[in-house]
Amino acid sequence: MPDSATLQALRDAVEAAFDEELRFLADIVRFQSLRGREAPLQDFLARWLAGRGYAVDRFSLADVPLTSHPKAAPMVEVDPAQSIQVVATRRCGEANGRSLILQGHIDVVPEGPAEMWSVPPYSAAVRDGWLYGRGAHDMKSGVAAMVFAMEAIRAAGWCPAGDVHVMTVTEEESTGNGALATLLRGYRADAVLIPEPTGGTITRAHTGTLWFRLRVRGVPVHVAVAQTGSNAITSAMRLVQALENHTVTLNREARSHRWYSEVMDPIKFNPGIIRGGDWASSTPAWCEVDCRIGLLPGSDVQEAMAAVERCVAEAARGDRFLEENPPEILWHGFQADGYALEPGSEAEAVLAQAHRHAFGEEMGARISTAVNDTRYYGLYYDIPALCYGPRGEGAHGFDERTDIEFLRTTTLSIAAFIADWCGLKPLE
Amino acid sequence: MPDSATLQALRDAVEAAFDEELRFLADIVRFQSLRGREAPLQDFLARWLAGRGYAVDRFSLADVPLTSHPKAAPMVEVDPAQSIQVVATRRCGEANGRSLILQGHIDVVPEGPAEMWSVPPYSAAVRDGWLYGRGAHDMKSGVAAMVFAMEAIRAAGWCPAGDVHVMTVTEEESTGNGALATLLRGYRADAVLIPEPTGGTITRAHTGTLWFRLRVRGVPVHVAVAQTGSNAITSAMRLVQALENHTVTLNREARSHRWYSEVMDPIKFNPGIIRGGDWASSTPAWCEVDCRIGLLPGSDVQEAMAAVERCVAEAARGDRFLEENPPEILWHGFQADGYALEPGSEAEAVLAQAHRHAFGEEMGARISTAVNDTRYYGLYYDIPALCYGPRGEGAHGFDERTDIEFLRTTTLSIAAFIADWCGLKPLE
C-alpha cells in the first residue's frame, strides 16, 4: 500500500478535480450512446484522453477477427464497422510495475418513454446528491471514476509504474463483443478492473446470459372464422409460458450451486420486446419476442441454448398450429458464460485494501444475477478480473442515477488500487 | 319480377360488360386503400361514376355531425377529414318506383408480409378463375358487382324507376362511421343492399364488435433484479388470458341465443396487434394489445364494454403489480351492435327471387360472426338492410381472392334485384 502521505495526496487530488469529474460525467451522459450509436461518444473520449497524454488506439469490431473467436456472439441489425472501441494507454518509460486494464462500457440501453422520467433522460440533471440519466449509473459513473482516478495520480505528480490501458468499449449490453475485441486486438495486462456500479462490492460471481428471438407464424384469417386460423400472438404467449416453466426448473437446480445456493431464483428469464400483428380484427400472422435468459457459472452455453430449443420445440408439439408452423429461434446476441472470481487473488487483496482506505470499512462481495465483461479476462485469458465500482439506482429503468458522494469515494478507492497494484513513479 | 325478355337482356348486358367489370375490379384492387389512405380510390370512383352520368356527392367524415350521434365510434390515429365518402345518385326523372341504396366499403385491412402471398398483394393477378389481392374479396368484388349491375340496366336501355344511391364508404373495418355518415348526410331509401362477399347467401344475423387497446405499464428494472420490477409483457399476457376466459363464458351463454344457438363459439376474441418493451435485458415498461371481441344481436354495447372492463379490473386485482399500476382500456374503434334481419321482408323476397333467377337455386341464409354495415339501416333507421354478395376466400389473410364466375352471376342477380325492387323505365 502506498504510504499515508501518498494516499492523502491522492485524496486531495480526487477532491480538487471532483467538480471537473462531475462535468465530465455529465458530458458523457448527454451522449445518447445507444447500441449502434456509440461512435460520437467514443470520438469524444478518444480526443479527451489523447489530450491528457494517452496513446490512443481507436478501432472497430470489423478491425479484429471477431467471428473466428468461439466466444464471439452474433450481432443482428448492427454494423460491426460502426462499433468503435477506444484503448488509451499510459506508459511511463520502462514498465517495472504490474500492468492494468481499466475498462468501462459506454453503450446504454434504451431509455423508454421520456414521460416516465422525472427529468429528461439525457439531461444529466443533478438533484439531492444524485446525477440522473440513462447510463449515469450503468456505467458511465464507473468510466468517470476510472478516468479521474488516473487523473488524480497524475495531478499528484505520479505515473503508474506499469502500463495502464484505459478502455471504453461497446456491446456490453448485448453481446460482449467490445471487450472481447480489445483482447483480439492484442491487449493484455496483469489484472483488469471493470468499475461496473457494484456499490463498492467486489462481484464474486456473475451469471451468463443468452439472447434469442422467438419467431412465431400464424395463419391469418378474418376473426369471424378465427377457429380456422392461428393467432401468432397467443401462440407466442404459450411459448413464453413454457419458458417461464423451464426457468422454474433451472432455478430449482440452482439451489445446489456453489455460489448461487443462497440467491433466490438467480436464473432470470425476461421477454423484453414483443411485436406482432397489424389489425385488431385479423388473427395476427406473426409475432416476435426478444428474450433473455441467464445461466450459472459452470453451465455450458451450448447446453443452455439446446435446452431452450428443446423447451420451445416441446411446447410447439403440444399445439395444433405450432406443430405445423414450428416457431424459429434466432440467436441474436449474448451467448455469455457465467464467471466466478475465485477468492484469494492478489489483485482482489490489493483492491480490498484500497477500499478499506477509501471507505473506512471492509469491501463486501456480491453475487450478481446479470452478466458483465470480466468473464473474457477471467475465463479465457487467465487475467484476474475485478468488477467493482460506484453506487446508483435505476439501471435499465427510469430515473437512473448515480450517488455523487459515493462516486467521489470510489474514485479515490480506484486511484489507491492503481497506485498499489502498478506502483508509482514520479512524473518526469 | 321483370319479364323473361328483360331478364335475358340484363344477362346479355352483364355478359357483354364483364371484361370491363373485371378491369374495373382490378383497377380498384390496385389502390392500397388502407385505413386513412382511401381518398385516392374514392377520387377514382367519384370520377368514374360521374363519367357514367351519376350525380356525385363527395364528403368527408368531418362534414357530418358524426360525434353527436350515439352510435358513432371513436377514431384514433386517423383524421376524419381525410376519410372520404362517395354517394353517386341515379335519378330518372320523376321517381315512382322504390328507392334503393347500394353500398360497399372500399377500405381494406393490412396485407401483412408480402412474402407470405403467392402474388403481390395489390397486383390483382388472375389465376385459375380467381382474381387475387387484398380487398379483391372483402369487398371490392361487391363494389364491382353493384356498379356493373347498374351498368347492365343502363346498357339494356333502362333506368331504375326509383332513385338509386351507389355509395362507396370507408371505416367499415374499424368503426362503421363511413356508413353512418351517409345517413347523417341525409340519404335514405326504401331498402339497402350491401354486397359483402357472402357467397350468394343472405346474412340473417351478424355479431357486433368492440375494439379496445389494453395499455399495461410495468416497472422497468435491470433483468438481474427482475423480481423488484414488473414485466408489462407478461402482465399483458395475463390479461389476455383473462379475456379468453371471459369469452368462454360469453360463448356458453350464447348457446341459448335465437340465431346463434347452432354456431360454435360465435363470440370471437382476438388480440390482433401487440407491441411492448425496447430491450431484451430490461423488464419492459409498457405493452399495448389491440383487441377485438364480438357480441350477439340483442346484447347491449355498453354492457359488453363494461363486462370487458370488469374482466380486466378483476384480473388486475389478482396481480401484485397490476393492482398498483392498473391497466388502461382505450376504446379506439368499433362499438358496434349485432343485427338480425328478421325473415319475411319484401326486400328479402325480391332478392331471393333474383338469386333464383341468376343462380337457378334457392338463396341460403348465413349467420355471421363478423360485423357489417347493415346494422345502421336496420337498427336505427328502420330500413330493410340486405347483406348479400360474391364468393371468395382469404378475407384478412394471405392470397385473398374472389371467384370470377361467381362474380359474374352475382352481378346479374343484383341487376335483377334492382330491376324488380325499383322497377324499370326506358332510358330517355
Contact call for residues B316 and B218 (beta carbons, < 8 A): no
pLDDT at A93: 83
How far apart, in whole angstroms, are the C-alpha atoms of residue B339 and residue B368?
Answer: 10
User: A374-408 b/e with 16+ CB inside 10 Å = b?
Assistant: bbbbbbeeebbbbbbbbbbbbbbbbbbbbbbebbb
pLDDT at B387: 98
Could you say which residues from 95 to 114 on chain A have a Cβ atom under 8 Å away from some Cβ of chain B? 109-110, 112-113
Chain B CB contacts of A220 under 8 Å are 112, 396-398
pLDDT at B358 over 80: yes
pLDDT at A323: 84
CA torsion, ordered A272, A276, A280, A282, to nearest 10 deg? -150
pLDDT at B324: 78
In this structure, what DSSP letter does residue A102 have?
A: E
What are φ and ψ of residue A174, in 5° steps? -135, -35
pLDDT at A428: 77
Question: What residues does B275 pair with on adjacent strands?
Answer: A275, B288
Percent of chain B at pLDDT > 90 equals 90
pLDDT at A393: 96
Contact call for residues B33 and B43 (beta carbons, < 8 A): no
For chain A, say whether B272 makes contact (Cβ under 8 Å): yes
How far lies A33's CA from each of A139, A288, A339, B13, B295, in Å?
A: 12, 25, 27, 68, 49
- SS3 per residue for B265-317: CCCCEEEEEEEECCCCCECCCEEEEEEEEEECCCCCHHHHHHHHHHHHHHHHH
For chain B, say whether A63 makes contact (Cβ under 8 Å): no
A371 → chain B, closest CA residue: B224
pLDDT in tens, B54-85: 999 999 999 999 988 999 999 999 999 999 99
For chain B, say whether A326 makes contact (Cβ under 8 Å): no
A372 → chain B, closest CA residue: B224
pLDDT at A223: 75
For chain B, say whether A30 makes contact (Cβ under 8 Å): no
- Tell me if B240 and A237 make a contact (CB, 8 A cut-off): yes
Omega before B139 cis (within 30°)? yes
Could you say which residues from 201 to 220 on chain A have a Cβ atom under 8 Å away from some Cβ of chain B? 207, 209, 211, 219-220
| Active site members of A | 107, 172
Contact call for residues A150 and A162 (beta carbons, < 8 A): no
Tell me how far the alpha carbon of residue A378 is from its chain's centroid. Answer: 15
Facing residue for B287 by CB, picked from A274, A287, A334: A274
pLDDT in tens, B301-327: 999 999 999 999 999 997 877 887 899
The H or E element containing residue A107 is: none
For chain B, say whether A134 makes contact (Cβ under 8 Å): no
Considering the candidates B172, B196, B373, B400, report the single residue annotated as catalytic: B172
In this structure, what DSSP letter does residue A183 have?
A: H
pLDDT in tens, B381-391: 999 999 999 99
How far lies B54's CA from each of B45, B48, B157, B163, B399, in Å?
A: 11, 9, 16, 11, 34
- Tell me if B284 and A274 make a contact (CB, 8 A cut-off): yes
pLDDT at B229 over 90: no
Q: What is the ipTM of this complex?
A: 0.92
pLDDT at B405: 98
SS3 B169: strand
DSSP B184-239: HTT---S-EEE----SS-EEEEE-EEEEEEEEEE-B--BGGGGGGSB-HHHHHHHH
How far apart, in whole angstroms, are the C-alpha atoms of residue A94 and residue B46?
Answer: 86
What are φ and ψ of residue B274, in 5° steps? -135, 145
pLDDT at B226 over 80: no
Torsion sign over Cα B69, B74, B78, B79: positive
- Tell me if B223 and A278 make a contact (CB, 8 A cut-off): no
What is the arithmetic mean of pLDDT over B17-46? Answer: 98
pLDDT at B290 over 80: yes
Average pLDDT value for chain B: 95
Beta strand A424-426 with A158-160 is antiparallel
pLDDT in tens, B174-210: 999 999 999 999 999 999 999 999 999 999 999 999 9
Contact call for residues A257 and A174 (beta carbons, < 8 A): no
pLDDT at B165: 98
Q: Which regions of chain A are under pLDDT 50?
A: none
Contact call for residues A270 and B226 (beta carbons, < 8 A): yes
